[in-house]
Amino acid sequence: MLSFLTAPMVHWPEVIMTYDAADKALFSADAFGRFGTPDDGAPWEDEARRYYIGIVGKYGVQVQAVLKKCAALDIAVICPLHGPALTGDIDRYVSLYDTWSSYKPEEEGVLIAYTSVYGHTREAAETLRGMLAAKGCNVLLYDLARSDLSEAVAQAFRMSKLVLASTTYNAGLFPRMETFIEALCERGFQKRTVALIENGSWAPMAGKVMKGMLEGCKDIAWTETTVRIVSALNEASLAQIEALVEELS
């Protein structure tokens, strides 16, 4: 017997999932899908997270609604439109979808995302990474001009803390940082600790602009320390990085 579950905005308006009780199969449309082909052997988690955050992420409320409907079903196999059919530990897939769609961090850890023209902001970001790692923190570092943006965005949702480090660029942000923050906001980034590292040589604006862009995001805990660099690290800005390490670790 087939039954049908409406799943509006997961992630198109007219989506309907189908449940086949004979095989305990849920044909889940875009939910539980991942990038890649069914037989490419890619791990589901990373590519499903990147797919979810990138494409479905804005619709957490709607995903929560459909998860409630799915909870009543006995599911042995999930057949999404993208990627492989999922068998085995179905609860693990459902639990990750519950985490992602409720915007909770998946892991305790720090993601540092930076942009840098001449290398000084990179040096600050790498220094911070080294100090956090030395304290045993789980830390990821992304150069936004040289990374896959969708991966950096998905990992920012995975981690509990985010550090944004940007040069000031024509009284605004280096473009890749602007795009990155826009992508976070569009997808409902929230419930995270955020710290800022600003660099500027004559009229630093990066910190103010980054904070302003994230103003509409819910439940952001700002660190007390903002690192302010004038062109290159010096004693004062290094001391601010040390203070930030204490707050984040």
Ligand X SMILES: Cc1cc2nc3c(=O)[nH]c(=O)nc-3n(C[C@H](O)[C@H](O)[C@H](O)COP(=O)(O)O)c2cc1C
Q: Give residues in contact with ligand X (CB under 6 A).
A: 116-122, 167-171, 199-204, 231
The residue assigned the tokens 């589901």 is 44
In angstroms, the first-to-last Cα distance of the chain is: 53
What's the min distance (Å) between Cβ of 123 and ligand X? 8
Q: How far out from the chain centre does Cα 103 lie? A: 9
| CB closer to ligand X, 44 vs 114 | 114
Give residue 112's identity as a one-letter amino acid code.
I
What's the min distance (Å) between Cβ of 30 and ligand X? 39
- Decide: residue 244, CB within 10 A, 0-12 exposed, 13-18 middle, 19+ buried: buried
Rounded to an integer, what distance in angstroms lies between the CA atom of residue 193 and that of residue 161?
5
| CB closer to ligand X, 102 vs 231 | 231
Give residue 54's identity as a one-letter amino acid code.
G
DSSP 86: B
What's the min distance (Å) between Cβ of 116 and ligand X? 3
What's the min distance (Å) between Cβ of 114 and ligand X? 8
| CB closer to ligand X, 74 vs 235 | 235
What's the min distance (Å) between Cβ of 210 and ligand X? 13
Query: Which tokens go with 184?
Result: 């976070």
DSSP 118: S
Give residue 154's identity as a one-letter amino acid code.
A
| CB closer to ligand X, 47 vs 178 | 178
Give residue 117's identity as a one-letter amino acid code.
V
| CB closer to ligand X, 120 vs 187 | 120
Q: Listing from the earlier edge strand, what are the strands of the sheet with 2-6?
A: 2-6, 16-20, 25-29, 77-80
